[in-house]
Structure 1
Amino acid sequence: MSIPSMPESIPGLEKDFNLLRETVSGGTSTRWMDHKKVKFYTNAFIFHGNKKRGFGLHKYNGFGGKVELGETSLEAAARELEEEAGIKSALKHIGILFFLSDGEDCAFHIDIYRGDGFAGVITESEEMRPEWFSTSADNSPDTGEAPSIPYEQLWETDPYWFPYLLSNTPFRGRADFRMDSDEGKLLPCKWWFGVLGGSAEVAD
């Protein structure tokens, strides 16, 4: 029985790939989906005590959106956070998600940011209805704490990288989604996630 070897690289994650340590991979596809162009987005998650915030249409998500022409990824993340929730936070780049899906003509590069604490009054916007979720493993409805993170309402591959977000561990990952005719929805067909090894600093 042989142990699978680390791939030489993952399309979309070439930068810093030699610093990554694979943690999980899988899927039914033997090769990655092709893409001709990439769109850049951001996603920010705010922590306060043992809670985080974030809400998306049909699936829970962080605050974020498209990186506009002339702004950096960090500037875009800060702008989206203020537009969608009315708050500011000292955001830290914690991860990269690169994904493709059926029906899209491009790949999506999403910079993930973590903010510990915030300033301002949290306000619901047309795009987002912020909610608190507990990051404690032992919380229960009887304790009066916020509900646990609803992993069943996240994207199917989010549970692979959420532990890194929670533990403040830099990570990188890719996931390809194809339309499942039986389920009638997009489902992951191939994925790979890894964490940055050692104490190497990686530029945003």
Structure 2
Amino acid sequence: MIEATLCFPRRDVDGTEEVLLIEKRRGLGEGWYNGPGGKLEAGETPRECAVRETREEVGLEIDPADLEKAAELDFRLDGERHTLCHVFRTRTFAGEPRPSPEARPEWVAVEAVPYDRMWEDDRLWLPAVLAGETVAGEFRFVGGEPLDEADFADHALERGVSFADER
């Protein structure tokens, strides 16, 4: 099982809420949009991973204490647990996003998130996360590896989940 993170930096520009998305340039989900993130390294906490991955992929500096846990997503492939993803959001960061070999960053109005260019499950949980809610979800895919070529089969989603003990 893979343990991973996603981070969604947010900002307000002239009254328009924006979220920083990346277009993946390689690896799982290449060509699709999502938040910066990736796999946990040995001995790393999810919060530390989100900070590191955001710095590596788009150059933003984030204090781990400024991350708010927004979701925990359990991805299943052919009945087996494939990935556990910890999702964070923040409005506090330093620097300007810059592209990397992994990702092309883009500020997008929350109302214009390109769900048609994202994982099929994102449209189920990301609107709630961007609206300030917390969610826990299980998403089932079938069809074998790789996950981004498997078919989305089913899901369960719970809103208003408490992650207070993980702050």
Extract structure 1 runs of 4+ deviating beyond 3 A.
Answer: none
Match of 1:51 in 2: 18
Q: Partners in 1 of 2:156 and 2:57 — Cα distance? A: 30
Match of 1:95 in 2: 71
Q: Partners in 2 of 1:174 and 1:106 — Cα distance? A: 10
Q: 2:152 aligns with which of 188, 192, 195?
A: 188
Counterpart mapping for 1:24-35 below 5 A: none
Match of 2:39 in 1: 66
Task: Write the letter of the residue equivalent to 1:44.
Answer: C
Q: Partners in 2 of 1:201 and 1:74 — Cα distance? A: 13
* TM-score scaled by length of structure 1: 0.67
Give how far 1:167 is off: 1.2
SS of the residue corresponding to residue 33 of structure 2 reads coil
Counterpart mapping for 1:74-153 below 5 A: 74-89=47-62, 90-102=66-78, 107-136=82-111, 148-153=112-117
SS of the residue corresponding to residue 203 of structure 1 reads helix
Q: Partners in 2 of 1:155 and 1:195 — Cα distance? A: 20
Structure 2 segments unaligned to the other structure (5+ residues): 25-29
Does the C-alpha gap of structure 1 residues 105 and 190 become closer, same or farther in structure 2, counting only changes over 3 Å? closer
Aligned CA-pair RMSD: 2.0
Match of 1:17 in 2: none
Does the C-alpha gap of structure 1 residues 201 and 117 become closer, same or farther in structure 2, counting only changes over 3 Å? closer
Q: Partners in 2 of 1:107 and 1:202 — Cα distance? A: 25
- Taking only the aligned residue pairs, the percentage that are identical comes to 29
Task: Write the letter of the residue equivalent to 2:96.
Answer: V
Task: Write the letter of the residue equivalent to 1:122.
Answer: P
Matched residue count: 149
Structure 1 segments unaligned to the other structure (5+ residues): 1-37, 137-147
SS of the residue corresponding to residue 56 of structure 2 reads helix
Give how far 1:187 is off: 2.0
Match of 2:27 in 1: none
Task: Write the letter of the residue equivalent to 2:119.
Answer: W
* TM-score scaled by length of structure 2: 0.81
Give how far 1:52 is off: 0.7
- Alignment check: 8 A CA contact 2:70 2:135 kept: yes
